[in-house]
Amino acid sequence: MQSQPQASGYTDNLPLAVSVITLSVLALSLSDALVKLMSGQFVIWQIFVLRSLLVLPVLFLFLKLKNPALLSVPTALGWVALRSLMLVGMWIAYYLALPNLNLSVAAAAYYTLPIFIILFSAVITKDRICFLGWVAVLIGFCGVLLILQPRAGDFNMYTLLPLLSAVLYACAMILTRTKCRSVHPLMLSVALNISFVVVGSLVALSLLLIAPEQRIGFLLSPWTKMAVAEWVLMAMLAVAILIGSVGAATAYQKGPPSVIGIFDFTYVGFALVWSLVFFAEVPSPASMAGIMLIVAAGIMSLRQ
């Protein structure tokens, strides 16, 4: 498939965008598996801060060697900051939901995000979504439901949090294409990781000052002491967020959100692999059928 020139002067590269978003989702799915492993040891704010503090020097060094001019403040600073805060909010909303929901319910609610991307693309960027594109989204979503098999009885108000997470992610990716397209993906990653450090530090400090004796669980626990094994895990999370943040920015700059959003569904397939590797969870026949539907939806989306 050939690149498509856009009226704005930027050029799409759909094969590159699809490849990059798939790699990004692979990295992020591994990161989430590691976070699950670490949730009994760490608090989310510690992960936010330390992970990004490991990533930022790498980004700054690479930018300095590649093109020092990129280190200047982005012209679309306000939009970049808004995009970063949306993505930080996405992670916060999702992790706030997990202690109060079955994982299948939370994930199924979150993976409505391609639906939001399709809708926002049609309304905001005026992308033309053909019938095949809509069918692809519905098939992919059915595949996710088939894998996760959420039960209606599990619904509660906390289910709105992963929906909020999906909306924030969709808005951030639309913003990436419409308002931040001229900003280098590495600078978008820098902004995101700075936001993680700022938000994580402010929340951790607030908890320490306001409620030092009332910290419970993954979100409200004290910071853990770091040994070699913990630093290795944190470094792996840093590599994953580096790949994921740069890759997602690149993909949504180089491809229509309505198409790239379909490939976010591949997260589920990768998550099943990590579940088998880390937690010895064997996919059921229904899960395998769901993966096949997701792959089919991705192929269909390229033909729309």
Summarize pLDDT for 50-62 with one digit per residue, the tens: 999 999 998 888 8
Q: Is 76:182 a contact under the CB 8 Å cutoff? A: yes
> Does residue 220 have a pLDDT over 80?
no
Residue 11 lies in a domain: no
Q: How many domains does the chain have?
A: 1
Under the banding of pLDDT at 50, 70 and 90, the label for residue 1 is: very low
DSSP assignments along 48-106, one per residue: HHHHHHHHHHHHHHHHHHH-GGGGSPPTTHHHHHHHHHHHHHHHHHHHHHGGGS-HHHH
| Cα–Cα dist 304/133, whole Å | 5
Residue 87 lies in a domain: yes
Rounded to 10 deg, the angle between the 14-38 and 228-254 helix axes is 150
Q: Give the 3-state secondary structure of residue 222.
A: coil
Q: Dihedral (C-alpha) 183, 192, 68, 252: value to the nearest 10 degrees?
A: -30
Q: What is the mean pLDDT of the chain?
A: 78
- Look up the domain containing 192 and give its range: 21-302
Q: What is the pLDDT of residue 290?
A: 75
- Token pair 């019938």: residue: 131
Q: Which residue has the higher pLDDT, 40 or 234?
A: 234
Q: What is the pLDDT of residue 3?
A: 41
> Does residue 39 have a pLDDT over 80?
no
Residue 5 lies in a domain: no
Residue 16 lies in a domain: no
Residue 80 lies in a domain: yes
Amino acid at 28: L
